[in-house]
Structure 1
Amino acid sequence: MYVATKGGERAIDAAHQWLAEERRGDPSAPELTIVQIREQMALAVNRVMAEGSLYDRDLAALAIKQARGDLIEAIFLIRAYRTTLPRFGASQPVDTDAMALSRRISATFKDAPGGQVLGPTFDYTHRLLDFTLMAEGEAPQAARKPADPAPAPHILQLLDRDGLMEPLPASDETPPDLTREPLEMPADRPLRLQALARGDEGFVLSMAYSTQRGYGRTHAFVGELRIGTCAVDMEIPELGFAIEIGEIELTECETVNQFTGSKTEPPQFTRGYGLVMGQSERKAISMSLVDRALRWAELGEDDMGAPAQDAEFVLYHCDNIQATGFLEHIKLPHYVDFQSELELIRKLRRDAGAETCKEAAE
């Protein structure tokens, strides 16, 4: 037993060394730096921060490098590191009305107050490989600083003003923290939004797509999609007031969905909401569609039985770290379990063979 254990340890150490060599790649090629990943793979960094629930670009870039570009493994690394950090307070809710915008579009109002800001987007690019990016020694271009935009209130406020949009519920309750408390059902909307915000982008996207194809009660318009930086304020007990401790980049999406009404309320548009750390508009739009699908009960709609309307199905399966852990555990040794299954099927085959021989003899 001792020899087998030591042999396993040596194999694991060798596997770790081999992994490090594979991570480095060809030693003659320049090593990828954290700064390069942070600055030139920003969207991957943003996804790792969002789904890892930790806003730190350098650490997200480090995790991507350590994981050899496997973003789910990088997210796992970030979440594991996050558990080691002390918690010394909580920030106040960010004010997205005051967001310093780098991108802001609406599919519902062309001439929205504050204008539309296309910003850095793939929306209008040709999906053709740009081989000039393979050129060596490109001259760096100076970063373009956008001009200070005009005040840009949330576009859905236009519908709010005319009573055409369902009002936002007022609540002073502190929502539960999904990073510190396990998910429990039934989950209210703040908890659902937390789970979706750090859920796997591909899973949330597929759920959102299913609602657009009819598996759920949504027909959404992007009321507003905005990307920019928001100030993060924290109240300091010793001072007795809040101070700004930094800025955070956010992507926010509000969708306008088909209307509802009741005997006491006139028909109004309903809303879906998505908020994600970093620039991640595909995730924010998907989140808002799934959020709206999950609200069917509180809006008094009938359950159509669509997957995106099933909160337990969506929320328990959107977390890619939990899914990865459960999936990958089956590649670990299950020798005893398999031997019991093997013995069982052999017994069944023996019994079936004996029964066949008995029938043939009769």
Structure 2
Amino acid sequence: MYVAVKGGERAIEAAHGWLAEERRGDPGVAGLSLGQVREQLSLAVNRVMAEGSLYDPDLAALAIKQARGDLIEAIFLMRAYRTTLPRFGASEPVETGAMRCDRRISAVFKDAPGGQVLGPTFDYTHRLLDFALAAEGEAPEAARVEAAAEAMPHIMGYLSREGLMEREAEGTAAPPDMTRAPMELPADRALRLQALARGDEGFLLGLAYSTQRGYARNHAFVAELRIGAVAVEMEIPELGFAIELGEVVLTECETVNQFTGSKTEPAQFTRGYGLVFGQTERKAIAMALVDRALRWRELGEEDQGAPAQDEEFVLMHCDNIQATGFLEHIKLPHYVDFQSELELVRKLRAGAAGEPRGADE
């Protein structure tokens, strides 16, 4: 710690107090309630839940408020809290085909079976500042379309029935859990998807964009993007059947990519997949693109040497908490390390100054 800093522990306590004062801001302005953060900054809440690996909107709102809006710090708080929670079981796999969709679109089928639902999205806004929001008055009530009551089948299923989609391997073993065991490379797809699901949105966005620009030659179409609530069930051994514990909101994206085929497989489409907590569609799309880029080896494709194809590079650098910890540790005291570097440079300079001219000639 900064024991040599003037004031020592008293200085650190003062820094904590100053931080709390800065977080509160002008006391003449009403403080934010957790309900306001949860309801009005819902996309930030969704990101903190997704990358914090903990679905709890109230805790995510608290973390955002405590972190002064720094989402990576809020994600760190969520991860830290998550480690204190007991684990009493595992839920059944969620059935996204039964999702009650608030939003469901396809870029490949105009008349998608079950219809398209635009839902709440920025896609069709003009990206102009709305100064009416600065008036802080009551917003006019907007027309709202209720979530689809009937289940919408996955669009990929229609391509699969024609034999145009790759067959997904169905594993029987339980997938590894990266929250309980260190990640090992090479990683199977289940482990890669776990890492991507809680990876940093900005990092994955940059990688996904690179694949679209030619670094991996991975042109994709969004076969389906859906956002909505799904039931979470857990089997109770004493009962002998599963019961519903509640619902979570998820964003799911499936991309469809060309595949020229191989000696054993005919030409067909392959897929990339993304599944994330909350309404986080940019993250889900980016995740699907990076997932597909990482599959080059198992599909027998050529390694283009692209960053998004490098499993070690992607998986070991996508976690913003690990990146933050390693980045920010260099601002902590390194007095001894630097003194050794300083002495080395002084010796090198003294040695160079004492050499006669022309010694290198």
TM-score by length of 1: 0.96
User: Is the 8 Å Cα contact of residues 220 and 289 (structure 2) preserved in structure 1?
Assistant: yes
Cα displacement (A) at 1:172: 1.4
Indicate the residue corresponding to 2:259 in structure 1.
259
Indicate the residue corresponding to 2:187 in structure 1.
187
Determine if the alignment matches structure 1 residue 356 to structure 2 residue 360. Answer: no
Indicate the residue corresponding to 2:64 in structure 1.
64
Q: 1:5 to 1:69 in 2, by over 3 A?
A: closer
Indicate the residue corresponding to 1:238 in structure 2.
238
Alignment of 1:273-288 (within 5 A): 273-288=273-288
**Any stretches of 5+ residues in structure 2 without a counterpart?**
none
Cα displacement (A) at 1:350: 0.6
SS at match of 1:356: coil
Cα displacement (A) at 1:143: 8.7
Determine if the alignment matches structure 1 residue 154 to structure 2 residue 154. Answer: yes
Indicate the residue corresponding to 1:8 in structure 2.
8
Instruction: Provide the aligned length of Structure 1 versus Structure 2.
Output: 358
Alignment of 1:111-126 (within 5 A): 111-126=111-126
User: Is the 8 Å Cα contact of residues 260 and 270 (structure 1) preserved in structure 2?
Assistant: no
User: Is the 8 Å Cα contact of residues 23 and 66 (structure 1) preserved in structure 2?
Assistant: yes
**For 1:147 and 1:31, how far apart are their aligned partners in 2?**
33
| Structure 1 runs, 4 residues or longer, greater than 4 Å off | 3-6
**1:28-58, Cα deviation, whole Å (9 max, x unpaired):** 0000010000000000000000000000000
**For 2:140 and 2:246, how far apart are their aligned partners in 1?**
28
Cα displacement (A) at 1:152: 1.5
User: Is the 8 Å Cα contact of residues 102 and 148 (structure 2) preserved in structure 1?
Assistant: no
**1:56-86, Cα deviation, whole Å (9 max, x unpaired):** 0000000000000000000000000000000
CA RMSD, Structure 1 to Structure 2 (Å) = 1.7
Indicate the residue corresponding to 2:227 in structure 1.
227
Determine if the alignment matches structure 1 residue 215 to structure 2 residue 215. Answer: yes
SS at match of 1:353: helix
Task: Specify the code of the residue in structure 1 equivalent to 2:274.
Answer: G
SS at match of 1:7: coil
SS at match of 2:239: coil
Cα displacement (A) at 1:258: 1.1
Cα displacement (A) at 1:141: 3.8
**For 1:22 and 1:252, how far apart are their aligned partners in 2?**
38
Cα displacement (A) at 1:145: 5.7
**For 2:81 and 2:143, how far apart are their aligned partners in 1?**
32
**Any stretches of 5+ residues in structure 1 without a counterpart?**
none
With 283-292 and 172-181 compared, the bigger mean Cα shift is at 172-181
Cα displacement (A) at 1:139: 5.2
User: Is the 8 Å Cα contact of residues 200 and 319 (structure 1) preserved in structure 2?
Assistant: yes
**For 2:294 and 2:6, how far apart are their aligned partners in 1?**
52
Alignment of 1:1-362 (within 5 A): 7-138=7-138, 141=141, 144=144, 146=146, 148-356=148-356
**1:280-335, Cα deviation, whole Å (9 max, x unpaired):** 00000000000000000000001111000000000000000000000000000000
**For 1:60 and 1:143, how far apart are their aligned partners in 2?**
28
Q: 1:28 to 1:140 in 2, by over 3 A?
A: farther
Task: Specify the code of the residue in structure 1 equivalent to 2:35.
Answer: V
SS at match of 1:50: helix
TM-score by length of 2: 0.96
**For 1:139 and 1:297, how far apart are their aligned partners in 2?**
52
**1:328-349, Cα deviation, whole Å (9 max, x unpaired):** 0000000000000000000011
**For 2:91 and 2:188, how far apart are their aligned partners in 1?**
21
Q: Percent identity, please.
A: 77
